[in-house]
């Protein structure tokens, strides 16, 4: 979905010079795509980062446009930071995001819906904040270390 988000980013940056997209993470097999769009104003490719929390804290919206996922750590980190999240309903994303409550979902490859959701979040800071707070609560409640360790203890007790 990298190319889907990039296509939407290009359109949005040309229309609105105030918007900025940061592409973070492994860029293997994307060199040609990155080179094609490297000079577009409003788009920055950060590559692999070890300071993920500090990068996420500077953002307003997180987008995970994947066609396939397990339980995505990147999405969990963004939710824990309190970001409004937009993602595709694949793999473990469905366990993390309740559409319309803790984030918004769009079908893989649906660039029109992706652009629409980004525009909605860009236009409504209150909505971003509400989704971000709900996302953070989801992570704190379901994926905190205390919850995970408690679940493991219960599982081990069941197995005995």
Q: How far apart are CA 83 and CA 67, in angstroms?
A: 21
Q: What is the pLDDT of residue 36?
A: 79
Residues 6+ apart with CB under 8 A from 10: 37, 40, 43
Residues 122-141 have pLDDT tens digits of 999 999 999 999 999 999 99
Sign of CA dihedral 13, 19, 22, 23: negative
Task: Name the percent of the chain lying above pLDDT 70.
Answer: 99
Q: How far apart are CA 12 and CA 7, in angstroms?
A: 9
Q: Count CA within 13 A, CB hemisphere, residue 17.
A: 0
pLDDT at 10 over 90: yes
**The whole model's pTM is what?**
0.87
pLDDT at 37 over 80: no
């Amino acid at each position: 979905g990298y190319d889907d988000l990039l296509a939407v980013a290009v359109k949005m940056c040309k229309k609105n010079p105030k918007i900025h997209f940061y592409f973070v993470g492994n860029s293997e097999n994307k060199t040609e795509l990155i080179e094609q769009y490297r000079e577009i104003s409003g788009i920055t490719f950060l590559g692999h980062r070890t300071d993920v929390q500090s990068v996420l804290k500077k953002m307003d919206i997180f987008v995970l446009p994947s066609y396939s996922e397990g339980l995505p750590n990147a999405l969990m980190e963004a939710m824990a930071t309190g970001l409004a999240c937009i993602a595709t309903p694949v793999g473990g994303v469905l366990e993390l995001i309740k559409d319309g409550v803790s984030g918004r979902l769009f079908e893989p490859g649906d660039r029109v819906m992706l652009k629409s959701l980004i525009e909605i979040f860009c236009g409504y800071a209150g909505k971003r904040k509400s989704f971000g707070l709900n996302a953070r609560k989801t992570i704190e409640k379901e994926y905190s270390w205390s919850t995970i360790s408690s679940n493991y203890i219960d599982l081990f007790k069941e197995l005995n």
